[in-house]
C-alpha cells in the first residue's frame, strides 16, 4: 500500500518532512469531510465500506476532493487484501504480479482490492489486462481519475465498474479541513501555533476552488514562511496567504471533458445572446492556455450556424478577428477575439441556414445522385446541344426583375423549399423578398 505509507511514517522518519495534505489524511470514515451524497448515512458508498462489501468502482472527480483519501479509508477498514499503486509508475508487469497474489488470496478465501490512482494514465492494453480478473472476481478494482471515464476508460472495463462522481468541496468543507489542520498537534500545524485572520481564512476557502490539497499546501507554505510574533504565534494575514497561494492553475484539459464543457458553455452563451457570459468563458479558455485560433475557428462556425443571414456581417467579423489575432498574437490579439464574441452574442440569431443545409444533405443522402435536368445542363459541345443540353433554359436577366418561373431541381424532387428565413434581422427582409418573388412566379412558400 505504498500510496498510503506517508500517513504512517516509520519511527525514525520526521513527520514534518511529509506534506501536510498527506500526513493529516483521515483514516476513519468519521473524519472524512465532504461527498455527503456518497458517504452520508445510508448512502451507497458508505454502506459498501461499512459492510466491507466493496465492488469494482471508478471514483471520478476534480483534484483534491478525496479520491485517494477514500481509498486510504477502505484500506484501513476492509478485511480484504489491499494493494495500491499509481498508474504513472506501474505497468502490465506489476498488474500480473498483483493478479498472481490475488489468486493465491482467493484460494485461501480472501478478496483482493486493487486501487489504481490516475487510472486514466493506463493505456488500452494495460486496462484490458484487468478485464478477465475483474470479471472473475479475482480482484475488486477501485480506480481514481480526474478525467471523464467515458473518454479515458475502456468501455468494456467501464461496464464492469460503478462510476461514482465526487464533487468539488464547498467553502464550508474547506474551512473544516483548514481548522483541523491548524489545531491538530500530532499531524497538523498545532505545534506551530498558527492563526488565520478571518480575511485570510475566507480567501483560502474561496481560492482553493473546492480543492482541499490546494488549501492545505497553501496553508503549509504560509506557516513555513511566517515567523512567530512576540507571543510565539504565527499570524497568517491575507497578504501572507495571497503570497503563498500564488496563482492556482485553472482546471482545463485541452484533450478531455473540461475542454468540451467550456467550449460548449461559450457556444451556448453566444447563442443565448449573453455577451458577458461569452466573455467569461472566452477568458477561461485563453487564460488556461487554449489555442486562441481554435476559439476563433469555433466563432467562424457559430457565425454561420447560429446567425447566418440574420446578420450577414457576422461571418466577416469572425473571420477578421481570426486574421487580427493571427497578425497580432498574444496578449494584444485577445481583444480582437473578445470583440468578435460580443458582436456575435449581440447579433440577431437564426439557424435557418443551418437547418436548410441539413435538409438538403438529407435529400442527397436519401435520393442519391439524381440527374441534372437537361435545361440547366452545360452544353459546351455540338453533341451536347443535339442531345438537348440547355434546351429550354430561361435566362433570368431577360425577364422583369430577373425573376422567371423555372425548376432548378432534379425532376424527382420537384420544387423543394429548404430555407425558411426567420423574422429576425436581415432575414426578415430576405423573407419578404422571397415571398414577393415566389408570388410573382406562382410558387408556394
Q: CA geometry: angle at 199 spanning 222 and 221, to 5°? A: 10
We find that the CATH architecture of domain 171-245 is Orthogonal Bundle (1.10)
What are the sequence ranges of the domains in the chain?
2-165, 171-245, 257-346, 369-440
Q: What is the pLDDT of residue 439?
A: 85
Structure confidence by residue, pLDDT tens digits, 216-271: 999 999 998 888 888 888 999 988 988 888 755 555 555 566 778 889 999 999 99
Rounded distance between C-alpha atoms, residue 145 and residue 118, angstroms = 5
**Closest to 117 (Cα-Cα) out of 165, 60, 48:** 60
CATH fold for the domain made of 257-346: Zinc Finger, Delta Prime; domain 3 (1.20.272)
pLDDT at 284 over 70: yes
Rounded distance between C-alpha atoms, residue 201 and residue 257, angstroms = 31
The CATH code of the domain at 369-440 is 1.10.3710
For the chain, percent helix, then strand, then coil, each to nearest 5?
55, 5, 40
pTM for the predicted model, two decimal places: 0.60
Q: What is the pLDDT of residue 6?
A: 42
Q: What is the mean pLDDT of the chain?
A: 85
Q: What is the pLDDT of residue 102?
A: 82
2-165: CATH, from 2.40.30.10, 3.40.50.300, 1.10.1740.10, 3.40.50.1100: 3.40.50.300
Amino acid at each position: 500500500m505504498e500510496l498510503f505509507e506517508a500517513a504512517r511514517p516509520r519511527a525514525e522518519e520526521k513527520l514534518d518532512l511529509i506534506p501536510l495534505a498527506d500526513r493529516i489524511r483521515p483514516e476513519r470514515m468519521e473524519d472524512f469531510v465532504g461527498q455527503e451524497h456518497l458517504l452520508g448515512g445510508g448512502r451507497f458508498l458508505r454502506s459498501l465500506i461499512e459492510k466491507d462489501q466493496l465492488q469494482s468502482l471508478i471514483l471520478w472527480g476534480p483534484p483534491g476532493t478525496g479520491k485517494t483519501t477514500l481509498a486510504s479509508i477502505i484500506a484501513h477498514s476492509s478485511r480484504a487484501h489491499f494493494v495500491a499503486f499509481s498508474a504513472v509508475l506501474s505497468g502490465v508487469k506489476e498488474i500480473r504480479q498483483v493478479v498472481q497474489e490475488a489468486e493465491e488470496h482467493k484460494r485461501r478465501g480472501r478478496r483482493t482490492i486493487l486501487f489504481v490512482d490516475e487510472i486514466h494514465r493506463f493505456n488500452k492494453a494495460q486496462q484490458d489486462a484487468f478485464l478477465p480478473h475483474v470479471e472473475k472476481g479475482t480482484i475488486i478494482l477501485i480506480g481514481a481519475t480526474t478525467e471523464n471515464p467515458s473518454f479515458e476508460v475502456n468501455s468494456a472495463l467501464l461496464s464492469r465498474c460503478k462510476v461514482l462522481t465526487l464533487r468539488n468541496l464547498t467553502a464550508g468543507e474547506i474551512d473544516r479541513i483548514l481548522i483541523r489542520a491548524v489545531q491538530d498537534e500530532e499531524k497538523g500545524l498545532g505545534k506551530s501555533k498558527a492563526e488565520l485572520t478571518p480575511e485570510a481564512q475566507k480567501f483560502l476557502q474561496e481560492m482553493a476552488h473546492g480543492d482541499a490539497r490546494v488549501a492545505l499546501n497553501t496553508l503549509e507554505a504560509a506557516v513555513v514562511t511566517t515567523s512567530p510574533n512576540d507571543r510565539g504565534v504565527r499570524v497568517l494575514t491575507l497578504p501572507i496567504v495571497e503570497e503563498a497561494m500564488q496563482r492556482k492553475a485553472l482546471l482545463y484539459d485541452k484533450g478531455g471533458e473540461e475542454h468540451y464543457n467550456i467550449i460548449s458553455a461559450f457556444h451556448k452563451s453566444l447563442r443565448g445572446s449573453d455577451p458577458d457570459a461569452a466573455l467569461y468563458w472566452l477568458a477561461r479558455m485563453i487564460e488556461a492556455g487554449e489555442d486562441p485560433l481554435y476559439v476563433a475557428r469555433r466563432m467562424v462556425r457559430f457565425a454561420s450556424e447560429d446567425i447566418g443571414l440574420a446578420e450577414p456581417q457576422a461571418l466577416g467579423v469572425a473571420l477578421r478577428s481570426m486574421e487580427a489575432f493571427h497578425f497580432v498574437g498574444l496578449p494584444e490579439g485577445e481583444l480582437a477575439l473578445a470583440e468578435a464574441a460580443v458582436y456575435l452574442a449581440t447579433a440577431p440569431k437564426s439557424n435557418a441556414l443551418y437547418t436548410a443545409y441539413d435538409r438538403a444533405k438529407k435529400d442527397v443522402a436519401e435520393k442519391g445522385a439524381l440527374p441534372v435536368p437537361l435545361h440547366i445542363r452545360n452544353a459546351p459541345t455540338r453533341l451536347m446541344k443535339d442531345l438537348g443540353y440547355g434546351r429550354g433554359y430561361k435566362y433570368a436577366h431577360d425577364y422583369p426583375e430577373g425573376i422567371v418561373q423555372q425548376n432548378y431541381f432534379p425532376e424527382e424532387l420537384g420544387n423543394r423549399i429548404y430555407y425558411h428565413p426567420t423574422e429576425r434581422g436581415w432575414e426578415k427582409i430576405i423573407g419578404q423578398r422571397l415571398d414577393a418573388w415566389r408570388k410573382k412566379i406562382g410558387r408556394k412558400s
